[in-house]
Amino acid sequence: MQAIVLIGIPGSGKSTYCREVLWETHLRLSRDQLKTRRRLAGLLAAAIDTQTPFAHDATNVTRAEREPTIAAAKRAGYEVVGLFFESKIEPCLARNAARAGRARVPDAGVRGRRNELELPTLAEGFDALRFVRIEGGRFVESPWRAEPGERGAAGGVGRGP
């Protein structure tokens, strides 16, 4: 079974990726959708109990935010894959600005999450890490090549090809 942990600031494409790429293969775990941590924890437990592949769709920008999902999945024998979404601030702000209603995050919130962003590492418990960017309106995945502490190509944090 596979657990996918999506990582990226608001507007980086995580939820769209879930809808377009993972919809038929993975249960989407999203607090935005479920509204409470309790519901999210309950659905995570149900996914693990039934050995259902799942994708944790949240910003997950810090190691501390990723740790509970990774730990629970590893205990249950899941392969844990981290997908780091390119987090260049200007494209993310533009995509966020196009959202309507409650889906739109204040610009200060997008910038704040960007400032908190910590690169994922295999040492956190991931079995694999991938880099995802949006190119020509399509998702492009590539091998993860960032080293801990590297800053640069992905708008300050993370590096793809």
Q: What is the domain count for the chain?
A: 1
Q: CA angle 118-123-125, nearest 5°? A: 100
Domain span at 14: 2-143
- Is residue 76 included in any domain, yes or no? yes
- Is residue 58 included in any domain, yes or no? yes
pLDDT of 147 > 70? The answer is no
Residue 41 has what pLDDT? 85
- Is residue 155 included in any domain, yes or no? no
Our CA dihedral for 80, 38, 12, 121, rounded to 10 degrees, sits at -30
* pLDDT tens per residue across span 11-50: 999 999 999 999 999 999 987 665 667 887 888 899 999 9
- Residue whose pair of structure tokens reads 């924890």 in the numeric block: 41
- Is residue 63 included in any domain, yes or no? yes
* pLDDT tens per residue across span 127-141: 999 999 999 999 999
Query: In a 3-state reduction of DSSP, which class is residue 155?
Result: coil
Partners of residue 111 on adjacent β-strands: none
- Is residue 158 included in any domain, yes or no? no
Give the Cα separation of 102 and 105 in Å (integer): 7
- Is residue 160 included in any domain, yes or no? no
Give the Cα separation of 129 and 144 in Å (integer): 6
Predicted confidence band of residue 70 (pLDDT cuts 50, 70, 90): very high
Residue 67 has what pLDDT? 96
Q: Give the gyration radius of the chain's Cα atoms.
A: 15
Least confident span in 33-37, 49-53, 61-65: 33-37
User: Mutual orientation of helices 89-97 and 107-116 as an angle, nearest 10°?
Assistant: 150
Query: In a 3-state reduction of DSSP, which class is residue 111?
Result: helix
- Is residue 154 included in any domain, yes or no? no
- Is residue 148 included in any domain, yes or no? no
Map 2-56 to HEC letters.
Answer: EEEEEECCCCCCHHHHHHHHHCCCCEEECHHHHCCHHHHHHHHHHHHHCCCCEEE
Predicted confidence band of residue 153 (pLDDT cuts 50, 70, 90): very low
Residue 145 has what pLDDT? 82
C-alpha atoms less than 13 angstroms from C-alpha of 158 in its C-beta half-sphere: 31
CATH number at residue 119: 3.40.50.300
